[in-house]
Every structure is written in C-alpha cells, then in structure tokens.
Amino acid sequence: MLKSYDELRKIDVSPWTDKRDGADYLNWAKVVDLLHENGAEKVYFEPVVNETTGSSLYMTEQVFTDSKGNTNRVYETAVKIVIDDMEFIQRGPVTNGSNPVKDNSMTQQRLWNCQTRLFVKGVAIRTGLGFDLWLKEELKESKNSWEDDLSKHDIFKIKERCQQIYTQKLKEGLSVKEIAERLHKTEDEVKALFSYFDTLSNFEKDLSNIDTKSR
C-alpha cells in the first residue's frame, strides 16, 4: 500500500534532481521507482489523445503572427496518471523551460518532455512526493511577479503585440480603412499611434541622458 501524503512529502528527492533554467527537475523514471519503493504496485502514465487530431497535442484554432511573420498558437498537452487505484488527468502548457514552444520550434521531443514533467507534477500534487520542489518554484514565481523590475519592461513588446493583433484583423478580412473606422479614428491616426512607441522610447532615452550636474 502506498504511503501517506505526509510520509511521501518528507522524502528528500534532491539527490535525484537536475538544475535546468534555474529550476530543479526530478526525473520521471525516478519518480516511478520511488513510488514503487514506497508501496505502490502499479504506476504508469500515458498521453491523452486529442480526438480531433489523433495526436497528444492540443491547440487553439486562432493563429498569432508576430512582426517577423512567425506564426504561433497556444499549445497544451495532457497525461493520464495511474497509481494503483488512483487515476487522474494532469494538463499543462507545452513549454521549453519557462518559455512557450512556438510553431517553428515544436518537436516531438519537447512535447514528450512536457508530458513527463506533467507526470512528475501530477504525482507531487496527489501524493506529496517531490511537492516541495514545485512549492519552491511557485513561491519564486510569485515573488518575482511582486518584485517586478521595471527596467526590464520593453515598450516594443507592447508594439509587437499590437502589430500581431492588427495583422490578424487584416487576415480575418478587415481592411485598413475598416479597422480605423471601428476604432473611431482615421487611418492616419492609427498609423500615428504605432509611431508613439518609438516617440516614447526616444523620450525615455533623452530623459535618462539629462545631466543634472551641468546647471
């Protein structure tokens, strides 16, 4: 019989973790091994098949296009996890570390890596094994969101998002004129709004370069 949540959570899994992208990763095969060592008789996981595509990859219908013409969708995957009489589904985004995987970088290996990580996460949530690794990661992300470094913000990222949305509206059949009309602006006004990003960026540079000592 599998040990309790509290007992499994107390197991130190650090000897079997690897550091990648600043986070601790616990190998999925070692998780299977540890569960068996601590009372489980049956442990396995398998990808959940998307009935629409026949693969284990799920995606949004909407396609996003960046300023360089690269396309992307929001990708997710899921695994069914079985531990003795316990059976559940664990879902999550397809990422490469903390970065979302895009169309031009999607590979079967990255999908598999995500599925094994979902297995490890699902086991941690349900059984307690390795849970403190995830707790540490979540607390770190939460702290970073509260201690946001404004110097790392990039106004051109906002411009890029606006351009992606604008491009998508054009692909959906709207003309430049129709977009402007729906925004209650002229075409020149819309064009001017995109130029404001460059204006603000230059303003920030000029402001920073003011020499307060030469007065």
pLDDT tens-digit series, residues 55-64: 999 988 888 7
- pLDDT for 172: 87
pLDDT tens-digit series, residues 31-46: 999 999 999 999 999 9
Q: What is the mean pLDDT of the chain?
A: 85
Residues in the chain: 215
Distance CA 48, CA 91 (A): 9
Extents of the domains making up the chain: 5-146, 150-208
Distance CA 94, CA 102 (A): 9
Strand locations in the chain (E): 17-20, 23-26, 43-47, 57-59, 64-65, 71-72, 75-83, 86-93, 95-96, 99-100
- pLDDT for 200: 81
- pLDDT for 152: 58
pLDDT tens-digit series, residues 48-101: 999 988 999 998 888 877 777 777 888 999 999 999 999 999 999 998 877 778
The pTM for the full model equals 0.63
- pLDDT for 146: 45
- pLDDT for 148: 54
Q: Does residue 204 carry a pLDDT above 80?
A: no
